[in-house]
Amino acid sequence: MQIPVAARPLIYGRSRFRLPPQHPLPTGVALRPFESRDRAICLAIYKDNEHDRFPTDFIVFFEFCLDCEDFLKLVLRINDVPVAIAAVSYRNRLGSANAWLAFGMVSPAYQGKGLGSALLIARLCLLPKPIYSVRLFMTNVGASQAFYARFGFAPYGTSPSGRPGLMLACNSALLGVCEWQACRERVAGLGLTLPTIEVPQLHRSKNVLSSTRRLATANVTSRLQIAVLVELFGLIVLLVVDRPYNWLGALFVLWGGFLYRRERKRQQMRAEAALRKRYGYSHTA
């Protein structure tokens, strides 16, 4: 059973972000935002890392991330050729600030040279200056766990991947203003110049996903609403109808929950199918 996000700090603790020692970067490394001309090289970097760092046949979600305006993508380049890429998004809802780190990867020829660490820190520098601690989230495979644990990331349950039935291990850490300032000092010490841009606020995808949402939810939204109404009806029966007949309300609650999960799964399948069609990938088996 997936643990509600609000309850996870009580179970997994409140690990804080920290900066481990950093080796000097190779000569000629520069930082800039992702540009459309970088796409082919970044896709090649993904494919070089796909085998042991991403779920099978997951590249369509990386392509979507490259297009999505809700994510800021940064690249590290040497001689103006991208050798590493990573994305970050930000959400501040009712004073609770969260940031998602996604698709951080380095070309195999340049791994082990501090580029991954520099790119992680650079993404955090571009978050708004924290007033209260920002909850950082990321998903990663087991092979990367030790690397991110050096920065204070600790297990935080699982997170949906966007693909039905595929849950990814989630890790989290808290970033306060002191850690945020230390990140900016570290980046300056590495000789990197931060771009004059901030991480965009994460919204319900409204631009890039608009066509995908229409394909994925045209016939599903009404069914989701029906499922919610069935659950609400069941709750009313549980609270209003006298015993022993109120047990019927529990059946409606369970039935509505089943309908909701089924339609959400169908929605995810249609969304992935729409993305595959958009980017020209064949369907998974």
Ranges of each domain in the chain: 5-189, 210-279
CB crowding 239-258: b at 16 or more within 10 Å, else e: eeeeeeeeeebeebbeebee
Calculate the CA dihedral of residues 255, 258, 263, 269 and round it to 10 degrees.
Answer: -160
Non-local (6+) Cβ contacts of 231 within 8 A are 252, 253, 256, 257, 260
Tell me how crowded residue 228 is: count the other CB atoms within 10 A of its CB. 14
Tokens 């969304």, located at residue: 271
Residues of the chain with pLDDT under 70: 1-13, 201-221, 268, 283-285
The predicted pLDDT at position 151 comes to 93
Q: Which CATH number fits domain 5-189: 3.20.190.10, 3.90.1150.10, 3.40.1080.10, 3.40.630.30?
A: 3.40.630.30
Tell me how crowded residue 62 is: count the other CB atoms within 10 A of its CB. 21
The predicted pLDDT at position 218 comes to 47
The predicted pLDDT at position 213 comes to 45
The predicted pLDDT at position 9 comes to 59
The predicted pLDDT at position 194 comes to 93
The predicted pLDDT at position 190 comes to 93
Question: Distance of CA 237 to CAs 228, 252, 256, Å?
Answer: 14, 9, 13
Q: Which helix (H) or strand (E) holds 138?
A: strand 134-139
